[in-house]
Structure 1
Amino acid sequence: MRKVIVMTAILALTACGQESNDKIERAKAASESAQAQAPVAHWALEITEGQQATITDSTGRLLDNGFTPYIYEREGVKHFLIGPFATEAQAREAQDKMKLKPKLDGIETNIIELPVAN
């Protein structure tokens, strides 16, 4: 799953003309660190910004500001998420940090609880 996330981030960055190695390496590093959190994480921020076409723009802006987005598919529906977070409080803190970043204006999020992996 992490390889899919990294590839999605790489493709998104390439599609919006931001293919610098630095950004790709940051996406890989963030993905590897998120993998260590995954077994205990049950919360995430869902990007509710709108259309699928804006994902490439949003991905670049989020990565530039220290947030690693990923795509999560559940029951055939794809969700554009940031996280995962171990607690709802951590997700709320990340959401508040996003609101303070001027470059992330217009990216709306909802805090959601992820299903427990079986």
Structure 2
Amino acid sequence: MRRLAVVMAVLALTGCGSDVEVAHKAVADQLANPKSAKFTNVRVTDQGNVCGQVKGKDAAGVYGGYQSYAAIKSDSQFKVVFDPDGTNAEIRTLCGGAPVSEEAYADPGQAVGSWDVQIVSGSNMGALSDMTARLIERGFIPSVVARDGEQRVLIGPFADKAQADDKKAQLMSSMGIESVVVKHRE
């Protein structure tokens, strides 16, 4: 009992008013039902911004999908920017997401099997084996390839860009996983 009291006291002292808590309150306040906010992949940048994904219940009490956010620190307050579809360049710059290259959105009339969904690699991805296991549990079939000297987690290839975009949206909505659509390479 005494150990529990000590742990609770330490948690109360260290957690009060932390930047992450203040940022999460600012993010949650922007949702239709702030008390229902669920956060994942939360990270704090060197500039003190708080980034991650959030989902919440709508007015009818139904959870929507995850969307990326950046809580931009200004003095002791946070300005919140949402990125529901993963294309906001400001959030990618602030949070260190993978850049969306011109190559990624080339001619949509390419041959069959010309698009992949690439999982954004970063501090929130964790071990490749953990990421691929989580994807498989949710019905996504990943592959790990070496590209540009790094291991990449891909889903695909897809016959057209629209299919890849749909899979990218499913990843964010169901698991809060950031990804980009890229041209398929053999």
TM-score after normalising by structure 2: 0.36
Deviation for aligned residue 1:50: 1.5
User: Which structure shows the bigger proportion of residues in strand conformation?
Assistant: 2
State which of 12, 34, 40 in structure 1 corresponds to 2:112. 40
SS across alignment from 1:40: coil
Query: Unaligned stretches of 5+ in structure 2?
Result: 1-110
Query: Unaligned stretches of 5+ in structure 1?
Result: 1-38
Deviation for aligned residue 1:59: 0.9
Distance in structure 2 (CA, Å) of the matches to 1:81 and 1:89: 16
Distance in structure 2 (CA, Å) of the matches to 1:49 and 1:78: 9
Identity between Structure 1 and Structure 2 (%): 32
- Indicate the RMSD between aligned Cα atoms, in angstroms: 2.2
Q: Which amino acid aligns with 2:120?
A: T
Q: Which amino acid aligns with 2:159?
A: A
State the partner residue of 1:79.
152
Q: Which amino acid aligns with 2:142?
A: P
- 2:134 maps to 1:61: yes
Distance in structure 2 (CA, Å) of the matches to 1:67 and 1:82: 7
State the partner residue of 2:32.
none
Distance in structure 2 (CA, Å) of the matches to 1:54 and 1:83: 20
State the partner residue of 1:36.
none
SS across alignment from 2:127: helix
State the partner residue of 2:182.
112
State the partner residue of 1:96.
169
Alignment length (residue pairs): 75
TM-score after normalising by structure 1: 0.54
Deviation for aligned residue 1:75: 4.6
Distance in structure 2 (CA, Å) of the matches to 1:57 and 1:78: 14
CA contact (8 A) 2:171 2:178 kept: no
> Structure 1 residues 93 and 74, CA, compared in 2 at 3 Å: closer, same or farther?
same
User: Which structure shows the bigger proportion of residues in helix conformation?
Assistant: 1
Deviation >4 Å, runs of 4+: none
> Structure 1 residues 99 and 75, CA, compared in 2 at 3 Å: closer, same or farther?
closer
Deviation for aligned residue 1:62: 0.5
Instruction: Say which structure, 1 or 2, has more relative contact order (CA 8 Å, 6+ apart).
Output: 1
Deviation for aligned residue 1:84: 1.0
Q: Which amino acid aligns with 1:90?
A: Q
Task: Work out which of the two has the higher radius of gyration on C-alpha atoms and give 1 or 2.
Answer: 2
